[in-house]
Amino acid sequence: MNKMANLVHIPEVKDVARKTPIEVFPDPKIAVVLTNQQSGATNLPLVKVGDTVAIGQKIADTKERVSAPVHSPISGKVIKIENAFNSCFEAPTEAIFIENDGKKTKDKTLTPIKESELATTKVEDLLKIIREAGIIGMGGAGFPTSVKLAVPADKKIKQILVNGAEGEPYDTADERIMIERTANLVRGVRVIRKILGNPKVIVVTKDSKVEAVPKLQEAFSKEPDTEVIAKHLTYQQGDASMMQKAILGYETPAGKRSYEMGTIVQNVATINAIANAVFEGEPLISRVTTLNGDVANPKNLMVKIGTPIREILSANNVTDCGSVVVGGVMMGTALQTLDAPVTKRTSSIICFNKAHAKPKKPTACIHCGRCVDACPARLQPVAIYNAVIKGDFAKAEKLWAKDCIVCGTCSYVCPARLPLAANVKMARS
């Protein structure tokens, strides 16, 4: 039975933002750089209060394997190291506060290579650049990219899926990257192909991205063994496992990683960052983020990581903030404070005005079964929810709570507004 037919369509709300070119946002006066933005091992600060840092200087790192360092986005002085709200973990964590000196001094630790040198560069060196540039999955997962790309030698990668679906409603940052940085994406993909032993490349995007599709088709037409697929995809199919099902037709067995199926899925923002690191020597210190929601002018901004969200909102005259969500309205985090900074995973900043932002009021379940029908992972969200409410985590596990992809569709469709996704997510971890 093809259960994919049940995928819930969620309105895109991207009409204005997707047509708005990326605008460079000014550097912050004080950058708040969270020492941990990746999933994996914990970073420790490499600088102390009073130190002077340059743009791109590594300021926090660890020796653990599954890790990615963070860098200073501006030049200036470390004024304090204390906790700030971290949207990646929905809690305050350690941050390095840097006061901008306006000198724009650059750190030159990362040595870029020329495009012509790519063929002769060793894979280890490329992986090292990616690791030292602090690149992590920018689609939301935050997994260190150098670790993901270091596939065991006995596993042959058959294809790379370039994930340009950008399923999250409101978000258009990836779409603008595909439109404006197409050439950069092409060379980023070349790097990944080289690392993974020249597999086939499939660039996947949605047919609704009418400006991006022809750009991608043109730019990738000259690349060997590369295909651009632009088709109708639902929000859920932006997930790596769902995308493999939609494009390649198989379901990755639970518990297996996609490389074991011969596939690597890489988000376009991440590929853009890889190209910047390898060919420009630029670590991950800025990203494109979409400002959308109840704002007069939805737009896409190139912002420095560490820029306080408050600065971005006030510079764009967004004053009526009832709720501010970063990283997507379906899977992202609602900020507890506007002092929270932009992170490597802040794909968007969505503001809901006070009239639209209402605290959720869950009511009793009416057993309509909508969540069961809608779940792309074919779980029974309401059953897991009931187990979690009773504290019966053993039962939640039996109901395969671990297989949840945290897409939020169950909560989206629930007519009783139950926090299903949040509870299943809790059971999962």
Kindly list the residues in this chain that would bind another protein in the complex (CB under 8 A): 1, 3, 8, 10, 169, 241, 245, 251-254, 256, 321-325, 328-338, 350, 352, 354, 357-360, 363-370, 372-374, 376-380, 382-383, 400, 403, 405-406, 408-409, 411-417, 419, 421-422
Nearer to another protein, 122 or 360 (CB): 360
Least gap, CB of 390 to another protein (angstroms): 10
Nearer to another protein, 75 or 241 (CB): 241
- Encoded tokens for 314: 């006030």
Nearer to another protein, 62 or 86 (CB): 86
Rounded-to-integer distance, Cα 331 and Cα 407, Å: 6
Question: Exposure string (b/e) for 216-247, b if CB count within 10 Å is 16 or more?
Answer: beebbeeeeebebbbeebbbbbbbbbbbbbbb
Q: What are phi and psi of 310, to 5 degrees?
A: -55, -40
Least gap, CB of 26 to another protein (angstroms): 23
For the chain, give percent helix, strand, coil, nearest 5.
Answer: 30, 20, 45
Least gap, CB of 339 to another protein (angstroms): 8
Nearer to another protein, 60 or 414 (CB): 414
Strand pairing category for 323-326 and 333-334: antiparallel
Nearer to another protein, 48 or 360 (CB): 360
Nearer to another protein, 37 or 145 (CB): 37
Quote the Cα angle for 245-247-249, to 5°: 45
Least gap, CB of 30 to another protein (angstroms): 16
Least gap, CB of 378 to another protein (angstroms): 5
Least gap, CB of 249 to another protein (angstroms): 13
Rounded-to-integer distance, Cα 269 and Cα 135, Å: 10
Q: What are phi and psi of 325, to 5 degrees?
A: -115, 130
Residue 214 neighbours by CB distance under 10 Å = 14
Least gap, CB of 342 to another protein (angstroms): 17
Nearer to another protein, 41 or 406 (CB): 406
Nearer to another protein, 118 or 357 (CB): 357
- Encoded tokens for 36: 């941990």
Phi-psi label, residue 395: left if phi above 0, alpha if psi -120 to 50, beta otherwise = alpha
Least gap, CB of 102 to another protein (angstroms): 27
Nearer to another protein, 205 or 409 (CB): 409
What is the Rg, in whole angstroms, of the alpha carbon atoms belonging to the chain?
Answer: 21
Contacts of 282 (CB under 8 A, 6+ apart): 56, 110, 112, 133, 276
- The label of the residue with tokens 């991205």 reads 209
Rounded-to-integer distance, Cα 285 and Cα 303, Å: 9
Rounded-to-integer distance, Cα 108 and Cα 380, Å: 52
Least gap, CB of 86 to another protein (angstroms): 14
Nearer to another protein, 145 or 307 (CB): 307
Least gap, CB of 100 to another protein (angstroms): 22
The arrangement of strands across the sheet holding 70-71 comes to 44-45, 58-61, 70-71
